[in-house]
Amino acid sequence: METNHDEKICIIGAGPSGLTMGMYLEKAGYKNYTILEKNDHVGGKCNSPEYKGKRYEMGAIMGVPSYYAVKDAMDFCGFTYDGPQLNRNYKRLDGSVYDPFDPKKPYNIPKLPRLMKLKNQMKKLGTLLETKYKGYDVNGHRGVAEGRYEGFDANGTGEWVTGENPNLKDLALPFKEFCELNGVELTQDIWIGPFTAFGYGYFDEIPAAYVLKYLDFQTTMNFVRCNLWTWKDGTQHIWERLNDHLAHSAVLNQTITKVERRDNHVYVTANGETTEYDKVIVTAPLQFMPDYFDASEEEKNLFSKIEYERYDVLACLPKKGQYPPISYYMFDNMAVKRLGHLMVLYCRWKGEEDQVITTYALRKHKDGKEIPYEECKQTVLEDMKICGCEVDKVINEQSWYYFPHVFSEDYKNGWYEKVEAMQGQNNTYYAGEVMGFGDMDETSQYSKELVYRFFK
């Protein structure tokens, strides 16, 4: 493919994917790009409002040392992580504190055989991922359903790797079935914390590919050991800084009503004005792309198969004297039968009162009815009361369009291969969360790879 660095490129969306797309295009020599964002701010679900001079998190909370694309963005801007050190404890349904993994606790004595079995299965899974499932952690999903992998090395070396591995087809199975197939079903006890609690759904419905590309073994161990990155001014600050350092900062408050692709050009109508581009890169949710694009039947069909999570976040001020000293996970509430209940209460500044405490809950499973938002909210507030953190006031709330994905049948039948085959057609490229994963690093890594593949 002949490269033309003077091409006029439109990037739709100024979340981590869209902003890093601009950064990687710049690094590749492209300067004539425009990023259009419908909101009045950048960062997408990296959303860090302010309360009394401190920013709190309504979306993404943290990163880990294996977030290589996030590190690229920080290096590009000349800053690093500087936020509070995080830790967590655990609560039972009655609000009491416990540690489900400490074999020395008297209440865990009956569970010692299970804990030892879990330890052995963790070692087994680590070995299986390195051997039987080699290539599992390469960013993106193209080729997985066909038993192959292609992408940048997952260890951040910058090396482009390719290979064939028929065992990768197992990644289309729901993660629960994948674990049972490999005799490591207890490892779900470890993976559930940074997966289901962070809004990515349940292991009986989500393909293993999503779970393991986000929570590869290295990343999971970082979460287990609390080897975490945070930012004093919140995760949104990363993307605000990046936006400020780009040659062309995002254009905000842009309502796109029409995108037409004709005569080898792309015509984008935003806020009533139509602009001609050579190419368009969509990092905004592909599920809604047919609403404003001259979408083909293939685009309509494929993007209609995208599902998403209903993930609710409340920003709360507990009553005086009831502030939690630390963040808490409630593993029992991460079961499907406890849908709509509090899974995490997040305390950003350890031991400080008069700060915002955020709560997290899921309210949809593919086999059941969606719990109404207000019902879920009241359930979470009641759970907070049981946990000894009765809420005095909710100062912010958000129900996110979260973690777009496809289910196992569509994954197995080559959904990603079909979308990847459309890359470049009609001067259109597809990126964003669904093409990698719905965390800020995987979606940014995919932007890096798309630029490498099509805009060298």
Q: What is the pLDDT of residues 41-100, one digit of tens each?
A: 999 999 999 999 999 999 999 999 999 999 999 999 999 999 999 999 999 999 999 999
Q: Which of 176, 141, 46, 37 has its CA nearest to residue 437?
A: 141
Asked whether the predicted pLDDT for residue 316 surpasses 80, the reply is yes
Element (H, E) at 114: helix 112-130
Average pLDDT over residues 292-311: 98
Place of tokens 């993660």: 175
The CATH number of the domain covering residues in 102-224:
1.10.405.20
Asked whether the predicted pLDDT for residue 256 surpasses 70, the reply is yes
Residue type at position 45: K
Asked whether the predicted pLDDT for residue 1 surpasses 60, the reply is no
Torsion of CA 432, 438, 441, 443, to 10 degrees: -10
CA distances from 92 to 329, 343, 376 (A): 9, 11, 19
Place of tokens 């932007």: 447
pLDDT at 162: 96
Question: Do 102-224 and 308-403 share a fold?
Answer: no
At 2, the pLDDT band (50, 70, 90 cuts) reads low
Asked whether the predicted pLDDT for residue 384 surpasses 90, the reply is yes
Contact 173, 408 (CB under 8 A): yes
Q: Which of 156, 122, 174, 192 has its CA nearest to residue 334?
A: 192
Average pLDDT over residues 194-213: 98
Angle at 235 between CA 374 and CA 69, to 5 degrees: 125
Distance separating alpha carbons of residues 236 and 48, to the nearest angstrom: 5
Average pLDDT over residues 407-430: 98
Handedness of CA 124, 130, 132, 136 (dihedral sign): positive
Asked whether the predicted pLDDT for residue 427 surpasses 70, the reply is yes
Average pLDDT over residues 220-249: 97
Place of tokens 């609403």: 291
Give me the CATH topology for the region 9-54+68-79+233-306+406-454.
FAD/NAD(P)-binding domain (3.50.50)
pLDDT at 34: 98
The CATH number of the domain covering residues in 308-403:
3.30.70.1990
The stretches of 387-439 forming alpha helices (DSSP H) are 408-412, 415-421
Written as six digits, the tokens of 351 are 């031991």
Q: Which of 27, 11, 30 has its CA nearest to residue 19?
A: 11
Q: Which of 152, 178, 131, 126 has its CA nearest to residue 412?
A: 178
Asked whether the predicted pLDDT for residue 252 surpasses 70, the reply is yes
Task: Return the domain boundaries, the chain.
Answer: 9-54+68-79+233-306+406-454, 102-224, 308-403
Place of tokens 């393991």: 212
Asked whether the predicted pLDDT for residue 424 surpasses 60, the reply is yes
pLDDT for 17-44, tens place per residue? 999 999 999 999 999 999 999 999 999 9
Distance separating alpha carbons of residues 69 and 156, to the nearest angstrom: 9
Q: Can you state the angle between helices 188-195 and 217-224, rounded to 10 degrees?
A: 80
**Do β-strands 256-262 and 265-270 pair in parallel, antiparallel, or remain unpaired?**
antiparallel
Note the maximum CA span of the chain.
Answer: 73
pLDDT at 255: 98
Main-chain phi, psi angles of 351, to 5 degrees? 80, 0
Q: Would you call 90 helix, strand, or coil by DSSP?
A: strand
Provide the mean pLDDT of the chain: 97
At 351, the pLDDT band (50, 70, 90 cuts) reads confident
Asked whether the predicted pLDDT for residue 3 surpasses 80, the reply is no
At 158, the pLDDT band (50, 70, 90 cuts) reads confident
Average pLDDT over residues 296-324: 97
Q: Would you call 154 helix, strand, or coil by DSSP?
A: coil
pLDDT at 156: 87
At 155, the pLDDT band (50, 70, 90 cuts) reads confident
Q: Would you call 296 helix, strand, or coil by DSSP?
A: coil
Average pLDDT over residues 169-176: 98
